[in-house]
Amino acid sequence: MTSLTISKRLQTIARYCPEGARVADIGSDHALLASYLLVKGIASFVIAGELNEGPFQAAKKQIHTLQVKDRASVRKGNGLAVLEPGEADVVCIAGMGGQLIVSILEAGLPKLEGVQRLILQPNVGEEAVRRWLLNQGWQLVAETILKEDGIIYEILVAERGVPTVPYENKDRPQEDLLRIGPFLWEEKSEILLEKWSSEAEKWQKVLLQLQRSDKPEAAQRIAEIEREVKWINEVIACLRTDKP
Ligand code: SAM
């Protein structure tokens, strides 16, 4: 079988796939993750789901070159609609916004029957994903934050369990941890500090612009953003001082 190089982000996702699992990668684009899981002998079977024709054709071509017909299925469709219940042990959804990931999971709830692990990598909107997991009985079991080509990514891994567990006995309220990530908060990595520092910078710039505005609604927005910046700065201060 041919070798395959994929991004550090996708390799990290692959590391969370248990050996021998049947893995569905939803929104697979060129099916790079699915191919890697086969080439490395991690997955016993992969399903690559794609909504759009271009990436679907690219995924089919990619899987065809691997000559693994009996261990892969490339399917065109919306989200989890491409799956039959009980077909996958692991579902990966990566490289989309958190809200889109949530809507895919929500629309495909019956298809999650039998799925043991979710590996989710929202590009933005991680809080929405953590909140959905918490409300749907999925327990976060791991989180990773990584930087590649100047972009910071978060990967969330969840299994069926007691979803409140990762938020219990922590030195921050659940609402804060839904935003930050309970495991990421425990780890307090430099990348997490970088993420929240750049969030603070972003909001500071918005504040400066709003402070120059004479629109009547600006005052209320300024007050909201000032509260946000205060919250972020307090998070940053803890990340700097409370290293484990
Ligand atoms: N998962 C890959 C990764 O992380 O590198 C590809 C990410 S790419 C930015 C997002 C892919 O998801 C696109 O190929 C897009 O066509 C596909 N997509 C978007 N919405 C989808 C949906 N509802 N169902 C299936 N695929 C979808």
Res. 244: pLDDT tops 70: no
Long-range contacts of 67-71 (CB under 8 A, 24+ apart): 67/1, 68/1, 68/38, 71/38, 71/43, 71/44, 71/45, 71/46
Domain for residue 115, yes or no?
yes
Give distance in angstroms: CA of 7 to centre of ligand 1: 16
Rounded distance between C-alpha atoms, residue 135 and residue 128, angstroms: 11
Rounded to the nearest integer, the mean pLDDT of the chain is 95
- How far is residue 129 from each of residues 7, 60, 93, 164, measured CA to CA in Å? 23, 29, 11, 14
Rounded distance between C-alpha atoms, residue 89 and residue 130, angstroms: 20
The CATH number for 22's domain is 3.40.50.150
Domain for residue 152, yes or no?
yes
Regarding whether 87 and 30 lie in a shared domain, the answer is yes
Domain for residue 176, yes or no?
no
pLDDT given at position 2:
66
Alpha carbon nearest to ligand 1 atom 27, residue: 27
Regarding whether 27 and 88 lie in a shared domain, the answer is yes
Alpha carbon nearest to ligand 1 atom 24, residue: 79
Comparing C-alpha atoms, which of 3, 47, 1 is closest to residue 27? 47
Containing domain of residue 200, as a range? 190-241
Give distance in angstroms: CA of 192 to centre of ligand 1: 25
Convert the pLDDT of each residue in 143-175 to its tens digit: 999 999 999 999 999 999 999 999 999 999 999
Q: Is 101 in the pocket of ligand 1 (CB under 6 A)?
A: no
Alpha carbon nearest to ligand 1 atom 12, residue: 27
Number of separate domains in the chain: 2
What band does 218 get if pLDDT is binned at 50, 70 and 90? confident
Convert the pLDDT of each residue in 53-66 to its tens digit: 999 999 999 999 98
Residue with tokens 């219990």: 168
DSSP state of 167: G
- Residues of the chain above pLDDT 70, percent: 98
Res. 111: pLDDT tops 70: yes
- Three-class SS of residue 1? coil
pTM across the whole model: 0.96
